[in-house]
Structure 1
Amino acid sequence: MAIPLAVLTLTLFSSLLPSSSSVGGSFDVRHHLSTVTRYDAGKEANVAVYQPPAVPDGCTPFHLNLVARHGTRAPTKKRIQELDRLAIRLESLLSEAKQAGRSIPSWLSGWKSPWKGRKRGGELVTRASASAVAFGIGLFSGKGSLGPGRHRAFSVISESRASDIWLRFHDNCETYKQYRKSQEPAVGKLKEPILDEVTSALVKRYHLNFTRQDIASLWFLCKQEASLLQITDQACGLFSASEVSLLEWTDDLEVFLLKGYGNSINYHMGIPLLKDIHQSIEQAIAAREENLTPGTFEKARLRFAHAETVIPFICLLGLFLEEHEFEKIQHDKPLDHPPKPPQGRNWRGSTIAPFAGNSMLVSFHCPGNDSNGIITPEGYRSKYFVQVLHNEVPVPMPGCGNKEFCPLEVFKAFMASKKSIIVVTLLVLFSVDVTSSSRSLGNGFQDEKYRCSFLVDDCKTDADCYKPCHYKPWGVPVVGHCIRNPNGGYSFQVDSSQCDYGGSCRTKEDCYDQCEAKYGYSRELTACIPDFVVPEYGSICCCRRASPSKQ
């Protein structure tokens, strides 16, 4: 099915300010539903004492990047069927209890799933597109001339899940899909002790012969009732506060292992999204420097997708880590599991990716007194800064010394310094003159015979996404990956560990000169390569390191 996600590109900047809310000391299950938490409940549960510093005087926002999850949704068809089975199971348990003369919670008598009889689940609704449309309607309400609400027309750009490497990369990376499939049984095993502990407690409490599967289904029902129906005294009422906290932790652990920091492949896939954000910032700066007419250039790029998009993006930014863990992910080292209750933890699904959860990168212009920018306490002089907000609240950036207001140069250096995960995406034309030897298809992509599928061994379909493959422009294999081009066909992507990089280049001679001067590499082991993902960047000089061993 097409259109699982959407990107809404606007030419109007909307300032999204953090809202304040307080929560009482009593336990509220609606704050503990992991990624099934409603947006407002998640914000209430995570009001921090920390107050971010004010934006420096004279700084004005000029561009916004948004990566947002869709809003609340109904259970999927598979989950609806699970609840139907739960209803049958509860009926059997209640029959046994009545025969034994036991008292039971009143709501259980005659309970039926609220979604009983529904043939379609949440997976058939284009959730991200619907969220993009709803956001646009709210944003432009009263700003146009359409209808009584004075709406304004806008467009939503959608991609098919089959080819989207920016927001639906988890559907396009075969290696990740294989990893997830292999790890799901192990994750289930990690959750079993908690489920068994809670099962034993509920059997003693209610004298009903619950099984582990019963408890898992009742916990799922609790989350759906509390999040979608605002019902907290039925399924949720079966559990104590400590049991809810443990069940929430099992969900957070699953998210950590299969979507988050648990394995670097979970977020390595999001590199094209990070590059797209970098590109949009550079384009916005260029438009500002060229004094383009307002309304002719982009001021916000709004992306609406899924938790599988938002969570990897958060990991790429290094957010919500425990102390000292940022250094570990910089070197691709494994992290410990999130601390188990009653210990506190930063990794909480209700904070990281509730329904409608979002991360924003706001670009600021800070001209300073002399129009040459402002000087930060660390001694940086910059005219442009980036601020990260999560769920509309400014957050410190580990890659910027835990500062909330990051000089653009430092932010760009942070992205470029992540050598263990950043890969420079390249075409296969290491030794082919693009202008004379191939027919351009636009956006930097070349004719079929020069694509990865023609030149690279065993790398022919999108099922080979991020599968190691070889290309031999210098007579030795260069290890990289094959990825699908948005415009069709496939291209070779060199692992960043294969090259040291010079600056931009226009010809091979430019690159030869750079590599010899900077690294002393021979002229035969260098190339000027067009950037595949962001053609506007031009070409980059790749200075080959020592030849890898043949595989």
Structure 2
Amino acid sequence: MSGLLVKIFISAISIFLCLQFTCADKYCYKDEEEPYLFFATKTSYEFIYNKSPLEEVPGCEPAQIWFVTRHGTRNPSDDELRPLQELNPLRDEIMRNHDLRNNGELCYGDRENLKKWQLRTGKTMENTLTSQGQSEMRLLARRMRTNFPSLFREGYMEDKFVFRHTEKPRTKESAEIFAKHLFGHDRISIPKGDKNDPLIKSYDACKNWDKLQDKSEAFKEVKLFEESNHVLSLIGRVSDRLGFKYNLTLDKIESIYDMCRYDKAWNVTATSPWCAAFSKDELMVLEYLYDLRYYYKAGYGHEINVKLGCPMVKDMVQRFRQLAAELQNKGQAPSGRSQSSPRGVFYFTHSKALLMLLARLGIAKDGKTLTHADFSSTSALGRKWRTSMISPFAANLAVVFYNCPTGREGPQVMMYLQEKTVLYEGCNVGLCSWKSLEAKLASIADNCDLKFCEPGWSSAPRMSSSPLLLLSLVALFIASYLII
């Protein structure tokens, strides 16, 4: 009998040690040395941007920087907050699945992390920048000053630097923090943001684009991917891993995913316990799902998205045309010190606006239209339209106009996405002749308007409706005559 008690005691100790220190054959996300860090539009900028100083362009000096950036890492919106708050009871159910029902596959360490988890945001913090988002703007400004010192060495002058943000608090705060750390003080003139800004948030003023968002046909490829074996298998595997005997809904899976990626964006050095719900392959599936959504919401999937990127392209081209004319008329003054054009133009906006701009410029365009059938582990890493890379928090496009008095045929332009050189088509390792770039973008800039946004607008002459108007007036006249 004593031998049996010894065996029971040893078994109990083994189980206890297994629970405490994780059985060797059970995977623990918390111990993952190379976790997957690419979470579509909620990816942290920290994992994406180019950490090397930008190389100088020999024989040239920057004369103007035209800069568009998405706001820094933010707290959830009101619509996102409720599903995240509902993760508290789900977490408790996951614990019961493992501890009481002996279901689930989370290791002891991941379960302990999940037990300690708390949602540290509330409605009063809705959509505001987090401390990480503030840091992104601060450090981005300092790196810009370091990379282009000649543009900023004379300090801030209101007529030399243009700032503009949308009406949202997160873009306003992003602009203020960026400006303060670009110049070392907060005495910067930043106009109040406009609602439905037709330049830096053109889609908000576009009724036809808004209508498109409600059409299921416009997002059929997204729906087909949601119903694909990739996603259905993911739902089943995640449900099993969390200890459920039934499949969770895709909405619930996405809430878990949102919390995972928010946690990681808010604290880049910490481990999100909710990320333990997914394998690396499953995170790649979810990343593709969100890439598809933004492809059809703000990218190449619909022509209207591309057209909505033209106002900012027009603004950039017009500013560079004016600058080029000034430099030519003034003998291409070194560093553009005698130019009347601004040295810096800074726009603070949102992910969709930036994606539309990239699409209008032809950046991150794959050789074919993305569909539900195009996902694979290879395509997940190799496609160009990857929102983790092109539209993370604090994503930005800097276009720099270089004055090149000697050694080159006229001014040059470089584009930097996430502080990495854009290998733009037709340019030499990213360095574009302004003459050739202007020729390429002229048709976009010179034919840009938002008339297509109005319901019922037609390219036909408006006088074509005048016969109807005339008939109506005649009928009204006859009716009034009969009444008299």
Gaps of 5+ in 2: 1-31, 129-166, 331-335, 467-484
Structure-1 residue corresponding to 2:447: 423
Q: 1:260 to 1:136 in 2, by over 3 A?
A: same
Q: What is the rounded CA distance, in whole Å, between the counterparts of 1:223 and 1:109 in structure 2?
A: 18
How large is the Cα RMSD of the aligned pairs?
3.3
1:63 is paired with a residue whose SS is strand
For 1:424-478, what per-residue CA distance to the aligned partner results, in whole angstroms no more than 9, with x for missing partners?
559xxxxxxxxxxxxxxxxxxxxxxxxxxxxxxxx9xx972683254357x899x
Is the aligned partner of 1:126 residue 2:178?
A: no
For 1:17-50, what per-residue CA distance to the aligned partner results, in whole angstroms no more than 9, with x for missing partners?
xxxxxxxx963332x1111111121227xx89xx
Higher share of residues assigned helix: 2
Q: What is the rounded CA distance, in whole Å, between the counterparts of 1:335 and 1:201 in structure 2?
A: 26
Q: 1:152 to 1:219 in 2, by over 3 A?
A: closer
Indicate the larger mover: 57-66 or 282-291: 282-291
Structure-1 residue corresponding to 2:377: 342
Q: What is the rounded CA distance, in whole Å, between the counterparts of 1:337 and 1:101 in structure 2?
A: 37
What is the Cα deviation at residue 74 of structure 1? 0.3
Letter in structure 2 aligned against 1:464: E
Q: What is the rounded CA distance, in whole Å, between the counterparts of 1:256 and 1:338 in structure 2?
A: 14
Structure-1 residue corresponding to 2:420: 393
Q: What is the rounded CA distance, in whole Å, between the counterparts of 2:376 and 2:86 in structure 1?
A: 31
For 1:101-148, what per-residue CA distance to the aligned partner results, in whole angstroms no more than 9, with x for missing partners?
446523344754333x5345117961111111111111101xxxxxxx
Structure-1 residue corresponding to 2:231: 195
Structure-1 residue corresponding to 2:477: none
Q: 1:58 to 1:97 in 2, by over 3 A?
A: closer
1:232 is paired with a residue whose SS is coil
Q: 1:413 aligns with which of 439, 445, 451?
A: 439
Q: How does 1:513-532 map to 2 (within 5 A)?
A: none
Query: What's the TM-score, normalizing by structure 1?
Result: 0.62
Structure-2 residue corresponding to 1:288: 327
Q: What is the rounded CA distance, in whole Å, between the counterparts of 2:170 and 2:206 in structure 1?
A: 22
Check conservation: 1:68, 1:306, Cα contact below 8 A. Answer: yes
Check conservation: 1:386, 1:408, Cα contact below 8 A. Answer: yes
Q: 2:188 aligns with which of 154, 168, 186?
A: 154
Structure-2 residue corresponding to 1:135: 178
State the structure with bigger RCO (CA 8 A, min sep 6), 1 or 2: 2
Q: 2:362 aligns with which of 318, 329, 348?
A: 318
1:244 is paired with a residue whose SS is helix
Query: What's the TM-score, normalizing by structure 2?
Result: 0.70
Is the aligned partner of 1:471 residue 2:457?
A: no
Is the aligned partner of 1:181 residue 2:181?
A: no
Is the aligned partner of 1:66 residue 2:67?
A: yes
Q: What is the rounded CA distance, in whole Å, between the counterparts of 2:213 and 2:354 in structure 1?
A: 17
Q: How does 1:450-465 map to 2 (within 5 A)?
A: 464=454
Q: What is the rounded CA distance, in whole Å, between the counterparts of 1:195 and 1:417 in structure 2?
A: 41
Structure-1 residue corresponding to 2:345: 301
Is the aligned partner of 1:34 residue 2:40?
A: yes
For 1:351-385, what per-residue CA distance to the aligned partner results, in whole angstroms no more than 9, with x for missing partners?
1011111111111122226xxxx3xxxxxxx3112
Highest CA radius of gyration, 1 or 2?
2
Structure-2 residue corresponding to 1:278: 317
What is the Cα deviation at residue 350 of structure 1? 1.6
What is the Cα deviation at residue 202 of structure 1? 2.3
User: Aligned pair count?
Assistant: 378
Q: What is the rounded CA distance, in whole Å, between the counterparts of 2:39 and 2:82 in structure 1?
A: 21
Q: 1:204 to 1:101 in 2, by over 3 A?
A: closer
Q: 2:283 aligns with which of 244, 255, 268?
A: 244
Is the aligned partner of 1:100 residue 2:98?
A: no
2:377 is paired with a residue whose SS is coil
Letter in structure 1 aligned against 2:457: K
Q: What is the rounded CA distance, in whole Å, between the counterparts of 1:61 and 1:262 in structure 2?
A: 35
Structure-2 residue corresponding to 1:513: none
Is the aligned partner of 1:260 residue 2:299?
A: yes
For 1:373-416, what per-residue CA distance to the aligned partner results, in whole angstroms no more than 9, with x for missing partners?
x3xxxxxxx31121111111111112x25751111121111113
Q: What is the rounded CA distance, in whole Å, between the counterparts of 1:463 and 1:279 in structure 2?
A: 22
Q: 1:119 to 1:368 in 2, by over 3 A?
A: closer
Letter in structure 2 aligned against 1:253: L
Structure-2 residue corresponding to 1:113: 119
Structure-1 residue corresponding to 2:136: none
Letter in structure 2 aligned against 1:265: I
Gaps of 5+ in 1: 1-24, 142-150, 326-333, 375-381, 427-458, 478-551
Structure-1 residue corresponding to 2:478: none
Q: 1:101 to 1:387 in 2, by over 3 A?
A: closer
Q: 1:393 to 1:288 in 2, by over 3 A?
A: same
Structure-1 residue corresponding to 2:90: 89
Letter in structure 1 aligned against 2:194: S
1:360 is paired with a residue whose SS is strand
Q: What is the rounded CA distance, in whole Å, between the counterparts of 1:466 and 1:279 in structure 2?
A: 30
Check conservation: 2:49, 2:418, Cα contact below 8 A. Answer: yes
Letter in structure 2 aligned against 1:320: A
Q: What is the rounded CA distance, in whole Å, between the counterparts of 1:37 and 1:168 in structure 2?
A: 21
Q: 1:298 to 1:196 in 2, by over 3 A?
A: same
Q: 1:359 aligns with which of 388, 394, 397?
A: 397
Q: What is the rounded CA distance, in whole Å, between the counterparts of 1:363 and 1:337 in structure 2?
A: 39
Indicate the larger mover: 210-219 or 268-277: 210-219
Structure-1 residue corresponding to 2:10: none
Higher share of residues assigned strand: 1
Q: 1:206 to 1:464 in 2, by over 3 A?
A: closer
Letter in structure 1 aligned against 2:35: D
Percent of matched pairs sharing the same residue: 22
Q: 2:261 aligns with which of 193, 204, 223?
A: 223
Q: What is the rounded CA distance, in whole Å, between the counterparts of 1:287 and 1:83 in structure 2?
A: 54
Could you list the runs of 4 or more consecutive aligned residues of structure 1 that deviate by over 6 angstroms after TM superposition? none
Q: What is the rounded CA distance, in whole Å, between the counterparts of 1:393 and 1:422 in structure 2?
A: 28
Is the aligned partner of 1:204 residue 2:210?
A: no
Check conservation: 2:206, 2:453, Cα contact below 8 A. Answer: yes
Check conservation: 2:97, 2:243, Cα contact below 8 A. Answer: no
